[in-house]
Structure 1
Amino acid sequence: MTADFTNKLHAGSDFPIIEATLLSGEVRTLSTPENGLDWTMVVVYRGQHCPLCTRYLNQLESLREDFANTGVDLIAISGDSKEQLESHMEKLNISFAIAYGLTLEQMKALGLYISDPRSPQETDHPFAEPGLFVVNNEGKVHVVDISNNPFVRPELTALANGLAWIRNPDNNYPIRGMHK
């Protein structure tokens, strides 16, 4: 039996330059923080077909201010089309940036697991399983979480508290997981 290998994005590596399109038509580089903040959290979600993703994004909104107080900007993205994201917005109550159109090549560059839909009713394209990347002010992956299913994701309150601790200069906390 042969195995296919994926290139996982390692802690401490440069986050790839990936441009994404927001619903407004604005093109934004995923890892570039905005809103006067200096770190970015990139949340990759499966798409509108995933109720767990909808719940996770709405929970993320409830903690948006906690992340901002730590200097962390938020952006979410999926492989959905613009029309699918527009439809999904009816179930989302978020104010952070959200983008669409993540390509297979970009999913692979991020080291994400990729799945095929179970049926045409689920969605009409291969999609990324969840991934979360916190990119520091040097463009390095400071925190990474990649899952192969929607049931395993970072608990957001713990993540917000952890990032506040990491960002506190008194703790001098380095990027972890640097052995390859």
Structure 2
Amino acid sequence: MPTTPMPDETAPDLKVPLIIGTDWELSTQSPDAFTMIVVYRGLHCPICKSYLQELKSHFDDFVAKGFSVITISMDGKEKAQKAYDDWGLDNIPMGFDLSEEQAKAWGLYLSSSIQESETDTFAEPAVFWVRPDGRLYLSNIANMPFARPDLGLLLKSADTVAEKDYPARGTKAA
């Protein structure tokens, strides 16, 4: 059963290979504001394509606000590379081979394939913001491909968070 990482607590470890041939590790990130982790379902998902293309249009704005951004899926390298190339995501770091154990540690919903084009098991979408000190700030975990946070609103909210030193919410366990 997946765990749910709690806001304002240390985020789970995360290390994934990048399509450029190196590894990406959360613990080595040092953004001015946040590391934004965008989990997408995989190459098979047309909504993921649209969402990541929208992310591309906001990418420079997030970076200008002090964000480090990465997209991650459970797809293997070949599918991740194809998504990167076919979707025109040339400026966004893309990780692949997220394991089931990692997905569960982050509280992600997992689905089994229902089409031949889908990876056997894949993570449903999520967006996380992690503070430079490694504490989780924002967590939006979905179980359906069409339930994702508005990237424009997230971008605008980054200003409010910075200006008002807005605290992480949802810190009380249910």
- Normalising by the smaller structure, the TM-score range is over 0.9
Closer/same/farther in 2, CA of residues 71 and 122 from structure 1, 3 Å limit = same
Structure-2 residue corresponding to 1:157: 152
Q: Structure 1 pair 31/147, CA: closer, same or farther in 2 (3 Å)?
A: farther
| Segment of structure 1 superposing worse, 73-82 or 92-101 | 92-101
Alignment of 1:128-147 (within 5 A): 128-147=123-142
Cα shift at 1:71? 0.8
TM-score, normalization by structure 2: 0.93
* 1:172 lines up with 2:165 in the alignment: yes
Asked if 1:83 corresponds to 2:83, the answer is no
- Once the two structures are overlaid, the 10-residue window that deviates more, 158-167 or 106-115, is 158-167
In structure 2, list runs of 5 or more residues that go unmatched.
none
Q: Deviations over 1:28-87 (max 9, x none)?
A: 1135436x6442000000000001001101100101122112211100100000011122
Shift of 1:9: 1.5
Q: Which residue identity does 1:7 align to in structure 2? A: T
Structure showing greater Rg:
1
C-alpha separation between the residues in 1 aligned to 2:125 and 2:97? 15
8 Å contact from structure 1 (residues 31, 135) kept in 2: no
Amino acid at match of 1:177: G
Q: Which residue of 2 aligns with 1:70?
A: 65
Q: How many Å separate the matches in 1 of 2:162 and 2:96? A: 29
Q: Given residue 13 of structure 1, which amino acid in structure 2 is its aligned partner?
A: E
Q: Is the 8 A contact 2:42 2:122 kept in 1?
A: yes
| Contact 2:32-2:132 within 8 A present in 1 as well | no
Cα RMSD for the two superposed structures: 1.5
2:16 is aligned to: 20
Q: Residue in 2 aligned with 1:39?
A: 34
Deviation of the 1:89 alpha carbon:
2.1
Aligned equivalents of 2:10 and 2:110: distance in 1?
A: 21
The secondary structure found in structure 1 opposite 2:146 is coil
Task: Answer whether contact 2:37 2:129 (CA < 8 A) is retained.
Answer: yes
Q: C-alpha displacement at 1:91, in angstroms? A: 2.2
Question: CA shift at 1:96, angstroms?
Answer: 1.6
Instruction: Give the TM-score of the pair, scaled to structure 1.
Output: 0.90
User: Which runs of structure 1 show a deviation greater than 6 angstroms over 4 or more consecutive aligned residues?
Assistant: none
Could you tell me how far apart the structure 2 residues matched to 1:6 and 1:22 are?
24
Distance 1:158 1:124, change over 3 A: closer
Q: How many residues align?
A: 172
Deviates more, 1:67-76 or 1:43-52: 67-76
Distance 2:165 2:71 in 1: 28
1: distance between equivalents of 2:119 and 2:138?
A: 31
1:130 CA displacement:
0.4
Unmatched segments (≥5 aa) in structure 1: none
